[in-house]
Chain A
Amino acid sequence: MIRKDKYNKILILGSGALQIGQAGEFDYSGSQAIKALKEDGIKTILINPNIATIQTSEQLADEVYFLPLSINYVEKVIEKEKPDGILLGFGGQTALNVGVELYNSGILQKHNIKVLGTSVETIQNTEDRKLFAEKVTEVGLQMAQSFSVHSVDEAVQAAEKIGFPIMLRIAYALGGLGSGIVENKQDLIEKANRAFSFTNQILIEESLFGWKEVEYEIVRDKFDNAIAVCSMENFDPMGIHTGDSIVISPVQTLSATENFKLRSIGIKLIRHLGIIGECNIQYALSPNSEDYRIIEVNARLSRSSALASKATGYPLAFVATKLSIGYALNEIENSVTKQTSAAFEPALDYVVLKFPRWDLQKFNQVSTTLGSEMKSVGEVMAIGRSFEEVLQKAIRMLDIGKNGFVCNNSENTEDIRNQIKVANPNRIFQIATALEQNLSIDEINKLTKIDKWFLYKLKRIVDLKKKFQSSKLEEIDFDNFYHLKKAGFSDKQIGLLSNSDEFSVRARRKSLGICPVVKQIDTLAAEYPAKTNYLYLTYHGTENDINFGDKNQIIVLGSGAYRIGSSVEFDWCCVNAAQTLDKHNYKSVMINYNPETVSTDHDTFHKLYFDELSLERILDIYEKENPIGVIVSVGGQIPNNLAIKLSKNGVKILGTSPEQIDNAESRDKFSEILDNLEIDQPQWEELTDYESARIFCKNVGFPVLIRPSYVLSGAAMSVILSESELNIYLKNASEISKEHPVVISKFITDAREIEVDAVAQDGEVVVYAISEHVENAGVHSGDATIVFPPQRTYLETMRKVKLITKKIANKLQISGPFNMQFLAKDNEVKVIECNLRASRSFPFISKVLKLNFIEIATRMILGEKKPAFHHNSFDLDYVGVKAPQFSFTRLKGSDPILGVEMASTGEVACIGDDFNEAFLKSMLAVGYKIPQKAIFLSTGRTEEKAQIIEELRKIQKNGIKLFGTEATALFYQRNGIDVEILYRPFDKKSPNVMDYLEEKIFDLVINIPKNTDEDELDSDYLIRRKTVDFNIPLITNIQIARRFFKAILSDKGTENQIRSWNEY
C-alpha cells in the first residue's frame, strides 16, 4: 500500500455504551477505520469503554483504553500516547462532541494533533443550526424557514411571512402542549398565548408535513472528487425521526430529475462545507413538485451510513478513513469487484428495506407516539427483488411474533382511522387492518401522508391474502404459489391461509420445484464479475449466482436486531466464533440481518447470508450448502430457540445437543433436574387460577416474582409484595387461565446475585468465570452492575457455585458456552437459571481475564482435545466492572426505575486496580458525574436510608449541599446530617423539588422507589422523570448509591490512572 500523508499514530474515539440513537453501527465503522489504518502501517490507539465491541478486540487496535469518553481522560491518553492525528467521525455524536470540546479547549493544538478528514470548523458549521443555515444560503440552496420569536405578535408576523400552515415548536413539551402544525392565525394566537405562559421563546417554522424524506450518503476526497454512494427514501413522511422510519434504498418514488437534482445539490453543499470523508444529507421533497428543503448534514459516519454500506456493499467507513489520510477516491480499490476503484456510485439490482425495532412495551408510562425524537433500539434490513418481498421479510426479522405484513393475530381493529393517523410502532399492522377493512388508498394516504406507491404495494399483499384465504394447499398452482413466494409470503403464512402447517407447505412447494435462489451483492448490478461472498435469497430469480457445497463449511447463526436484552455482545460472540472457525481451517458461513453489526460485514467471513434467521430460511440455506453443521450457541436467544426445530428437521447442531438445550429452557424439566441433583432453587409453581396463586403465595410468603404468559397492559414480569397487589396484578395487568398460566416464584430479599460464564466439553467444565452483582437480587442481570473477579463473595459461596456448575455441566452434557445465574444469601446458594449458550457477559469476562471464552467454546464444539488453562481469576491484579447504560431521557414519559424486566440499552466496562477505581470509571463512562454542588435524596425505606449515613456525612464535609424529601431529610437530620427539606411535586409548596430540578441545582439525584402507597409512587415518578428529562444523573438503587459515594470518597483522581488494556 502507498503511504499517504505521513502519520505514525492515530487516536480513534469510540462511541461508548449503546444507547437509543447510537447503537452498534459505530462498532462497525470504528472497526473498519482501524483496519484501513493498519493496512497503511499506522499505529492505532482506541478509547472506548464499550468492552463488548469488536473494535476493542485484541487483534485490532494497537492499544485499547477502556475509559470514559470525556476530555479529561482523553487528554491524559493523548499526553501518554502522543498521537499525531485523531479520528472524530467514527464514534457517533459522542466522539464528535468530545472532539469539538478537545478542539475548543485548545488541547489538540497544544499537543499538535491533526484532526483527520472533516475539520472541526466544518463539523461546527453542520452542528450549529444558525451557522448551517448560513452555509446553505451562501450557495443559494433551500432550507425550511424558521424564526425564533418571543411574543405572540412576533409569532403572527413570522407565520404570515412563511404562510399557513406553519409548524410551532416548543423546546420542552409543557402542560400537555407540544410542537405541532398550526393551520390559521386564530389557532396560532391561542397556542402561542398558552406557550408563552410557560416559556419565553418558541419557533415558528415552515411546515413540511407530508413531504417525502430522502437521504443521500456522500463521499468526498481532498482532491474535491465527490460521489453519492447511496440514496434512501423514508416510507414514513417528514416528521418522524429517520431512525424510527422504515427506510428503503434506493429511492422508489422519485423521478430521475428529482433524484439527480438532489444528488447535485448535496455535492454542491458538501463541497462548500469542505467535508472530507463521508457524510449524510437529508432532504424534504415536496410530493407535488420538485421543490425541496435541506434538513441537515451529518458530517460523520452514522446509522444511515452503516445502513448504506450494508445496502450497497460499498465500505463507507473504510473508504472515509482512507480519504482522511490523503487518498484520492480512485486510489482505493473496490473491495467487492477487486477490479474497479472506490470512485463509483453503486448500482443495485435489488432493494433493501430497513425496519426499526422498538421495545416500548418494556417501559411503564412511555409515550408510544413517534416523532422527531428517536425511540427505536435496533433495526433490521431485508434484501430482495420486490417491495413486497423485502417488507414481509423485514417484519419477520423483527422477531416480534409477526408472520409478515399479513396473517397475524388480530390487532385492535376498532376506529382504525384514528389509529393510523398518528405514527406509532404498530402503524404498519394498523394499515394492514385498514386495507382489510377496504379503506381506500386515497384515504389512507390522506391520513398518513405515506406515498401512495407504498400503499399500493401494501394493498397487493392484502389482496393476495384475501385471494388465497381458505384455499386448499393442493389447489394453489405453480404460478400462484410462485407469485405468493415472490410477494414475500413465508411457508408459515401460506400455511395459515390454506389451513395447513409450515412443513406441508414446504413439502408442497418443493414438489412444485419452487425454491429461492441465492444472489450476490456486487455493487455494480452484475456489470463486472465479482467473487463476493455477500449473499441473500430471493424468489425473484431462476439462477443461483454461486456454486454450493464448499467442503468444511460451518454455519453460525447470528443474533438479529439489537433489542433490550440482546445487543453488541452477541455480535462479538458470533464474530469470534466465526473467526475461530476460519483459523482452524473451517469455512465460516454467517446468517444475520442486522445492519448495525460487524457480523454482517461480508469480509469477515467465508460467506455471509444477509437473510432471515427463520426455520424456513435456515433450512433453505442448509439444504443448498450442506455444511458440517450449525452453531446455535453464540447468537443469543434467537438461535437458541431454533435449535430443537432445526434438529427435528435434520439439521446437525454442533455443541450441546438440542434435547439438553430444551432441558435447560423448559422450566419443568430443569427444575426436576435440579431436584434430582439436590441443588436448591427458589420455590416456584405454574398456576392457572387466582385461588391457587393466592395459596401458593401464602405458603411461600411475599414477596413473590410473577411472570405472566399473556400480558394485557404494560406490566410484564413483576415483584409482588402483598395479596392486594397480587389481586390487582392478576385482575388488571395480566391474565391467569389454563391457556395463559402464570409462573410465580419466591422472591428472596437482600440476596446477592452471582453469575457463572463457562465453557464445557462433553459435560466437563473447561473454563469458568464467576462474577457478582453490585445490586441485590431483583435487578435484571442485564441492568445490574457486574464485578469480575468478585470482591465481596465468600470463598465458601464461590466453591458451592463452582461445584453446582460442574454438576449441571455434567448432567446436561454441555459442549460449548453456557451461563448460570445464582442467588446467594448467608452462604446458601440457589440456582435461578441456566442458559446453554453464550451470555451477555462473555466479552466482558473474556477481555478482563484475557482469555477468549468464545474461541475456546468454538474449539470445544469442534471437538478439539480439552486443553489445560491456567488462568485463574484469583491471580488477577485488577478488577473489571461492567455498568449498564440507560436511555430513559429519550423515552419520554417512561419511569426510569430498575426491576425484573430489563431496561438498559447498552453497557460499558472499565478496569481498575481495585473495585472503587473500576466502578467509578464505569459510572463516569455511562454518564454519571462526580457531584460538585448538591445532591437530592429520597432514599426509600429506613433500612435503606441507614445504609448511606456514613458516606453522606463525609460527602457533606466535602462541601456538597444535601437536599431531601421531608421524611428523608428528617431521618438524616436526626443522625446529625444537615439535609434541607424540599417539598414534593404534589405538595404545591416551595421550596419545591421540581423547581430545583428545572434550575439544575443538583448534580445528582438519589431516588429509591418504595413500592408502597400510590401517591408516593406518583410523586417519586415525577421526580425521577424530571431528573432524566433535565439530564441530571439519577441513582435508584441503594447499593449503587453507597458504592458510588464510597468510590468518590476514595478517589484520588482516576484520570491519572491511565493504562491501556495491554498494560493490565
Chain B
Amino acid sequence: MNEKLKLVLEDGTEYVGYSFGFFARTEGEIVFNTGMIGYPETLTDPSYFGQILVETYPLIGNYGVPNKSEKDGILQFFESDKIQIRALIVNDYSFEFSHWSAEKSLSDWLIEEKIPAIYGIDTRALTRKLRDKGTMLAKIVLENEKADFSNIIDPNKQNLVEQVSISSEIEYAKGKSRIILVDHGVKFNILREFLNRDISILRVPYNFDFNSIKADGIVISSGPGDPMQCKETIEHTKKAILENKPILGICLGHQILGLAAGCDTYKLKYGHRSHNQPVNEMGTKRTLITTQNHGFAIKRETLSEDWREWFTNDNDSTNEGIVHISKPFFGTQFHPEANPGPDDTSYIFDMFIRTLK
C-alpha cells in the first residue's frame, strides 16, 4: 500500500487516502465529474485548470495512458499538451492496465507531470457533499498535517485563461476556408472537428484582436474559470458582432458571446461536469446527450430581443445555447466536440461551417 495523503475541504471535512500520483501538497477548487470513461481526455481538458478533480466512477486507470502520436500537428489521444488538473481523487485505482494504445500507467503519467492523486476515498460521499454545499476550495496535505486555508488563492478570482492560452498564433492549414480560433484553453477536439472538415485554423491567444485579421468565421473556445475575467475577448467579440462575421462560442466561449451580446452570467452551485447531460433543442421534441464541463452559465432572462435561447438543460432548465435571430451567431454551453462523450451534437460544426463566407 502506498503512502497516505489527506484531502481537506474548505469546510473542514477531511478524507484520507493513498497517494498514486506525485507525492506533494496542492490546492484548488474541487469539482466532480460523473463521466464513466475518458480520463486521458478529461485530465488534459484545460477547462479543469486549477481544479482538483473527483471522478465519481470508482475504477480509474484501467486502460492506462495512450501514446503521444500526432495528427495534423496535434496529439491524437489528448485534449491538450499536458495534464491540466491540480490533483485527481478516485475511489479505486487500477494499478495494472491493459489496452493496445496504452504506453504507461496513469500513475506514471501523473508522477511525470507532478500531479498529486489519491485513491481509497469515498468519492460518492465527497460528491454528495459538493452537490449539497456547492463547489469548494480544497487542499491536499500530508496525513498528519493541518490545512491552513487563510492563504489559499481562489482560482476563480484569477485570470486562468491567461495561463492556459497560447502566447503566439499557430496556423493549421487544411482547406480554403479559414477560421480564427480564440484560444481560452481550447480542447484539441475542437481543432480536430474543423481540420477533419478541411477547414484551416488560425489559433490565436485569448487577448488577440482577431478583428484585424481576415477570416471566414470566428470560434471562441472553451476554457476555465469565470467568463467575466475575459474582458478583452468580450470587447473583441462585441466588435465582431457588429461586423456580422459568423461566430461560434463553445462553453466559456458561449458565455463570452452572451456577455458580448449584453447578457449576464452567474455561478452554478456545483456546475455540470459529465457526459450525460440531456439538452433540449427549443421548440422541438429533440433531446441530445452532451458532454459538459462548466461552473458558470448565462442568465436567460437577460437575453436581448435579437437573441433566442437555443438549447436548455433537460435536468435543471439552465441555458445551454443561444442563437441570433438573423445573424450567424451561435453559442453552446455544452461541448459539441465531446471527447470524451457522445457525438450527438457534432452537427453544430456542420451548421457553423455552412455559414462561413
Contacts and interface: CB of A to CB of B under 8 A. Distances in A.
Interface of A: 221, 223-225, 227-228, 250-257, 259-260, 263-264, 287-289, 328-330, 339-341, 343-351, 385-387, 451-453, 456-457, 460, 479, 483, 486, 517, 519, 524-529, 540-543, 545
A545 B343 contact: no
20 contacts: A223-B286, A224-B286, A253-B99, A255-B77, A255-B101, A260-B343, A289-B100, A329-B287, A339-B315, A340-B314, A343-B278, A345-B342, A453-B97, A457-B94, A525-B274, A526-B124, A528-B315, A541-B122, A542-B15, A545-B124
B287 A287 contact: no
B131 A526 contact: yes
B122 A526 contact: no
Nearest to A251: B37
Given A250-B57, A257-B339, A525-B57, 12 more contacts: A253-B98, A288-B100, A344-B277, A345-B276, A345-B289, A347-B57, A348-B57, A451-B98, A525-B127, A526-B124, A527-B34, A528-B315
Contacts of B32: 526-527
B125 A256 contact: no
A28 B17 CA distance: 41
A62 B276 CA distance: 38
Contacts of A228: 342
Nearest to A351: B59
A439 to B, nearest CB: 16
Contacts of A542: 15, 122, 125
Nearest to B57: A349
B285 A543 contact: no
Interface in B36-82: 36-38, 40-41, 56-59, 62-63, 66, 77
B92 A386 contact: yes
Given A343-B278, A344-B276, A541-B125, A328 B1 contact: no
Interface string B125-168: 10110011000000000000000000000000000000000000
Contacts of A252: 59, 62
Interface magnitude class on chain B: 35 or more
Contacts of B58: 349-351, 385-386, 540
B3 to A, nearest CB: 12
A456 B287 contact: no
B34 to A, nearest CB: 4
B63 A453 contact: yes
Given A330-B287, A526-B56, A545 B98 contact: no
B91 interface: yes
A451 B96 CA distance: 12
B276 A543 contact: no
A478 to B, nearest CB: 11
A260 B338 contact: yes
A263 B287 contact: no
B67 to A, nearest CB: 12
Contact residues of B: prevailing secondary structure: loop
A519 B34 contact: no
Interface string B337-351: 011111100000000
Instruction: Pick the most buried of A257, A263, A545: most chain B CB atoms within 10 A of its CB.
Output: A257
B37 A349 contact: no
Interface string B249-275: 000000000000000000000000011
Minimum-distance CB pairs A-B, first 3: A256-B38, A256-B340, A456-B96
Contacts of B288: 225
A562 B275 CA distance: 36
Nearest to A331: B285
B127 A225 contact: no
Contacts of A253: 62-63, 98-99
Instruction: Pick the most buried of B35, B58, B275: most chain A CB atoms within 10 A of its CB.
Output: B58
Contacts of B315: 339-341, 344, 528
Contact of B339 (A256, A348, A525): A256
Given A250-B36, A330-B314, A385-B91, A541 B63 contact: no
B276 A346 contact: yes
A349 B34 contact: yes
Given A288-B100, A453-B96, A526-B124, A347 B314 contact: no
A499 B25 CA distance: 42
A347 B98 contact: no
Contacts of B36: 250, 347-348
A263 B342 contact: yes
Contacts of A259: 37-38
B332 interface: no
A479 B341 CA distance: 37
B123 interface: yes
A519 B287 CA distance: 30
Nearest to B127: A526
Instruction: Pick the most buried of A264, A289, A517, A525: most chain B CB atoms within 10 A of its CB.
Output: A525
A254 B59 CA distance: 13
Contacts of B94: 453, 456-457
B293 interface: no
B280 interface: yes
B124 A260 contact: no
A738 to B, nearest CB: 46
A527 B131 contact: yes
Contact of B131 (A346, A347, A529): A529
Contacts of B342: 228, 260, 263-264, 345
A519 B131 CA distance: 16
Contact of A330 (B124, B274, B285, B341): B285
A726 B110 CA distance: 69
Nearest to B279: A343
B312 to A, nearest CB: 11
Nearest to B129: A543
Contacts of B280: 330
B290 to A, nearest CB: 10
Contacts of A224: 286
A255 B37 contact: yes
Given A223-B286, A453-B63, A519 B124 contact: yes
A386 B341 CA distance: 23
Contacts of A386: 58-59, 91-92
Instruction: Pick the most buried of A225, A255, A287, A479: most chain B CB atoms within 10 A of its CB.
Output: A255
Contacts of B59: 252, 351, 386-387
A453 B62 contact: yes
A542 B98 CA distance: 30
Contacts of A251: 37
A325 to B, nearest CB: 15
B336 to A, nearest CB: 13
A287 B274 contact: no
B285 to A, nearest CB: 4
Nearest to B277: A344
A349 B128 CA distance: 12
A254 B277 CA distance: 21
Contact of B285 (A255, A328, A525): A328
Nearest to A248: B59
A479 B120 CA distance: 11
Contact of A349 (B1, B123, B314): B123
Contacts of A254: 37, 63
Contacts of B287: 225, 227, 328-330, 341, 343
Contact of A347 (B38, B123, B274): B274
Nearest to B276: A345
Contacts of B15: 542
A452 B94 CA distance: 12
Interface in B278-302: 278, 280, 285-289
Interface string B157-197: 00000000000000000000000000000000000000000
Contacts of B343: 260, 264
Contacts of A349: 34, 56-58, 123-124, 127
B99 A255 contact: yes
A483 B1 contact: yes
A289 B101 CA distance: 8
Nearest to B76: A257
Contacts of A524: 34, 276
